Structure 1
Amino acid sequence: MTHSEKLQAIRSLMKEQNIDAYIIPSSDPHISEYLPDHYKCIEWTSGFTGSAGTLMITQEFAGLWTDSRYFVQAKEQLQGTGFELVKLKVQHAPEYVQWVSENLPAGAKVAFDGNLASLLVANTIKNTLAPLGYAIDGHADLLGPIWENRPSLPVNPAYTLDVYTTGQSTIDKLNAIKAQLKAKRADAHLISSLDDLAWALNVRGTDVPCNPVVLGFAYISDSETILYITEGKLNEEAIAEFNSFGVEIKPYEEVYTKLKGLATDTSILVDPKRTCFAVYDSIPEGVKIIEDMNPSTMLKAIKNNVEIGHTRNAMINDGVALTKFFKWLEENVDSGELSEISVADHLASLRAEQPGFKDISFGSIVGYKAHGALPHYSATPESNSLLEQNGLLLVDSGGQYETGTTDITRVVSLGNITQAEKDDYTYVLKGTIEGSMAIYPKGTRGYQIDAITRRPMWQTLRNYGHGTGHGVGFCLNVHEGPHVFNGTATDIAIETGMITSIEPGLYKEGEYGIRIENLVVSKDLESTQYGDFMDFETLTICYIDTDLVEKSILDQVHIDWLNNYNEWTYNQLESKLSDEEKSWLRNKTKAI
């Protein structure tokens, strides 16, 4: 079926079930950002491949609500599908709910599949529309009946990580979670989110591309811990290991049976942002539901010394691959045969040669010239550009290693750069340096680091539409909460051991994009009579191109930071490079 035919089939089912508006979020029963093929519902329905968006379908209108990262991409991918782009004013805001109240009469029936909507989203829909007279149905799966040859749920094997890798045993992690449950007066806790599950039980898998997670749920109480996972994914050795920790293994689907059987005098903690409505709705009335952030989310965000040490090693391996890549790129761009896709493939192959490599950490963003202005661009056979010896190339990529997760963005010149490109590059670099050098009191929030990083651009009336930074997992998801460096007033303090990206950018639609991204770990600096202060240690090890730098824009402190960083990069990598590679990198890291 074409996307237009799929839209018509959905509308036919809506008529049969008296549904006036149907909502399709980009999600799964675990409220994941990156999805197994089985749950790529928005892509199947509309053709849009971005990682954030919501479809709203009525008999007269079909729209995709998404944020500024995807405006250009969505406009292109939705052509001829019957869906229109609706630009979100605020990232992740459920603005489609307001659209319903403004465009459909009271009494209309609004439906969604509770397996794809978080409790938070479902409550927003219900609490906003039900008082206005709208009927709400959270159990409507309209895609299942029409999705022919739908991919099955993955059955890939899962595996466990030992304490020498994680720095904390499964028993210790479960005890830390149970201590928080006790403090919150919760008898039990359900973990639905896959990265929280992976962290809490030191288990990993390959069920989601680029994310080393396994589909499952965990039920935790003072008397029992149960991992609900598809049978056959764990071998006998892993099952015995879990049993030795007091963890029982049960089939994936039985989590609903467990929840439906909870006694009414039980209290259970669920995270409304990370638990789907269908799971929540299976809990009997009378059970006290405590809606709060998963305890594991903050515990996971604060990396221990073992995890940080391993991540430093992963950065060295990643830096070697990146050095080989940029040398190869420079030496082969004149062939006229390199494309965005072939460049991404070659980078992945170089990472795969490194010790402990498992996978890339997300689909590489390789944007040449105008494509670089699309922050989440993904080259397709139709859009794939051949590289020439001019303009800017943006490469945003990362790797999953046995010892850590990486995420890095660099921009390089392919020749004939304009003064405007050099100026913009230097202001972005200045922002990266400002954020990286920040010294801040304990208790600082991410929006304050965001402002510090943006200051060099704001002073010249420049800005960018995405956040400055996101948390990064350890051998886990490349996007991790709860902390973020962006303009929203997220009330999460920066804690010692958090790994976060610093990635300011500038984008000129139709021309070029610039983003320079490093990962940093927050650390204690010094205590004075004025309080406890912190700063960042930069983890990413890859030279920053100085050919694009307009030195007059930088202050001496920025020049010193850049020279020191590039010198440090060379010293970290030289022992793992050939003589030819060392000579090339030595030239790239010369002081300016």
Structure 2
Amino acid sequence: MENSKITSRLSLLREKMSRLGIDYFLIPTADFHNSEYVAPYFQTRAYFCGFTGSNGTLVVGMEEAGLWTDGRYFIQAEKELQGTGVDLYREGEEGVPTAAQWLADRFGRAAKAQDNGEKSRALALGFDGRCVNVAQKRQFQKKLSAFGVRFVTDTDPAEGIWTDRPARPAAPAFVLEEKYAGESAPSKLERLRGKMRGAGAGIYVENRLENLMWLFNLRGRDVECTPVSLCFGVITMKDQVLFIQESAVTGQVQAYADRIGLELHPYDDVFNYLEQPGLYSQEQGAVCRALFNPASLSVRLREAMLKGRQALIDGTEITGMSQTAGRGKRPGFPGGHFDVEKRSPVEDFKAVKNAAELQNIRDCYREDSAAVCRFLFWLHKNKEDGKIGSMTEMDAAAKMDSLRAQISDYVDLSFGTISAYGPNAAMMH
């Protein structure tokens, strides 16, 4: 049976693609921060195909569409994709192409048809460049470059189609006390700048929410089960700037930011900020190198960085590179890798727990283990009383959640409780 709700949405997307000259549209499970779990506002992939699992990539063409997901979700995806016209591609199974391979096959055939005399035009792959990272784009470029495919990175597929889209989350943020963090934000920034100096970088650009929350000892409630606020960060040797939504900035957060010298700017201003030529200028006319992780930094952020630096190069005498560049000249970037592309130092800092963090983890797990024991007692008691037959999976999850909510200093679950019984237990998630 056709799922008319999904097929009508796909029809509207295809009309949009046709207007923009886009042959295929890539829709990953992602927000602007390369997050694993995303708020409802960012669940565009689910909106266009109906699959609600936490991992999956949707590719929509003018006549076909495919969803790629992993083994945790095969059973769920089969059910949710029925009647949508979206084919399921089981990642990791023998003979199943990746999304990039699948697209290479389609674009390859289209390019060959053009060579054989069909009407020629530039082939195009579209995606929202805020939701695809630099490394992902390069993977697709590697597969598709032979076919002259251009990339359209400035289009939100849901814009103008998803009329009842949930609002972008903007809950108040809060300061994490040092008794929980175990280290002050200024101390963390000093360590980060040490790594920047060692790498020869003058700017650090970060869009991973967990990294920024850890670095500045802030927390938020913008993503379910993940204590983060939507934000971007730019760190130089002198300044630290956080781009965050105005409604997230409470009086407590503003006072704390003032105390540690943290500049707070509007969330959406990050792109214009990165386009400023002066951000990349160092003493004696040298161009500043940027440190970022291509596996997390979005394509749009990278484009803004390149635009800002190119504006500096075009308008100023630049030194400290492979050649001197005057106005109108293009300096050489050695191997195309003038910047420092590597795993974020914050990831490594965050992975090494200090004494306070280790003690907090022990305390939390002791209380969580006690909550699980109380749940098991409750479950067995209901079984003995003959009440378990009327109990649902949701009843069990609600009880487990209520017991965990009694833990001291409880804020939220770290992951939604997975409650399954009988045939439903065959689903890994």
**Aligned-partner Cα distance in 2 for 1:218–1:137:** 25
**Aligned-partner Cα distance in 1 for 2:45–2:173:** 27
Q: Deviations over 1:534-584 (max 9, x none)?
A: xxxxxxxxxxxxxxxxxxxxxxxxxxxxxxxxxxxxxxxxxxxxxxxxxxx
1:315 has 2:368 as partner: no
| Contact 1:122/1:138 (<8 A) preserved | no
Aligned position for 1:328: 378
Aligned position for 2:137: 122
Number of aligned pairs? 375
Aligned position for 1:276: 298
1:23 has 2:4 as partner: no
Aligned position for 1:74: 77
| Contact 1:94/1:121 (<8 A) preserved | no
Candidates 408, 413, 418, aligned match of 1:365 = 418
**Aligned-partner Cα distance in 2 for 1:124–1:332:** 53
Aligned residue type for 1:339: T
* Percent pairwise identity: 31
Aligned position for 1:141: 156
**Aligned-partner Cα distance in 2 for 1:156–1:172:** 27
**Aligned-partner Cα distance in 1 for 2:137–2:428:** 29
Shift of 1:116: 1.2
| Contact 1:174/1:200 (<8 A) preserved | yes
Aligned position for 2:280: 263
| Contact 2:231/2:245 (<8 A) preserved | yes
Shift of 1:238: 2.1
Aligned position for 1:237: 252
| Contact 2:170/2:229 (<8 A) preserved | no
Aligned position for 2:116: none
Shift of 1:50: 1.0
Shift of 1:101: 1.3
More helix by share: 2
Aligned residue type for 1:355: S
**Aligned-partner Cα distance in 2 for 1:165–1:171:** 16
Task: With the length of structure 2 as denominator, give the TM-score of the two structures.
Answer: 0.84
Aligned residue type for 2:218: V
SS in 1 for 2:74: helix
Q: Where do residues 96-107 of structure 1 align in structure 2 (5 Å cutoff)?
A: 96-104=99-107, 105-106=110-111, 107=122
Candidates 201, 215, 221, aligned match of 1:206 = 221
Candidates 179, 182, 204, aligned match of 1:167 = 182
Higher mean Cα deviation, 114-123 or 276-285? 276-285
Shift of 1:373: 2.3
SS in 1 for 2:51: coil
SS in 2 for 1:116: coil
Task: With the length of structure 1 as denominator, give the TM-score of the two structures.
Answer: 0.61
1:253 has 2:285 as partner: no
Aligned position for 2:341: 291
Q: Where do residues 403-418 of structure 1 align in structure 2 (5 Å cutoff)?
A: none
**Aligned-partner Cα distance in 2 for 1:164–1:150:** 39
| Contact 2:170/2:230 (<8 A) preserved | no
Q: Deviations over 1:439-458 (max 9, x none)?
A: xxxxxxxxxxxxxxxxxxxx
SS in 2 for 1:238: helix
Shift of 1:125: 1.4
Q: Where do residues 483-494 of structure 1 align in structure 2 (5 Å cutoff)?
A: none
Aligned residue type for 1:9: L
| Contact 1:21/1:109 (<8 A) preserved | yes
Unaligned runs of 5+ in 2: 112-121, 282-286, 311-337
| Contact 2:59/2:67 (<8 A) preserved | yes
**Aligned-partner Cα distance in 2 for 1:274–1:284:** 17
**Aligned-partner Cα distance in 2 for 1:130–1:18:** 18
**Aligned-partner Cα distance in 2 for 1:195–1:354:** 23
Shift of 1:90: 7.4
Candidates 288, 292, 304, aligned match of 2:354 = 304
| Contact 2:393/2:421 (<8 A) preserved | yes
| Contact 1:112/1:137 (<8 A) preserved | yes
1:349 has 2:402 as partner: yes
SS in 2 for 1:366: coil
Shift of 1:94: 8.8
Aligned residue type for 1:151: P
Aligned position for 1:539: none
Aligned position for 1:484: none
Aligned residue type for 2:280: A
| Contact 2:174/2:252 (<8 A) preserved | no
More strand by share: 1
Aligned residue type for 1:314: C
**Aligned-partner Cα distance in 1 for 2:93–2:186:** 41
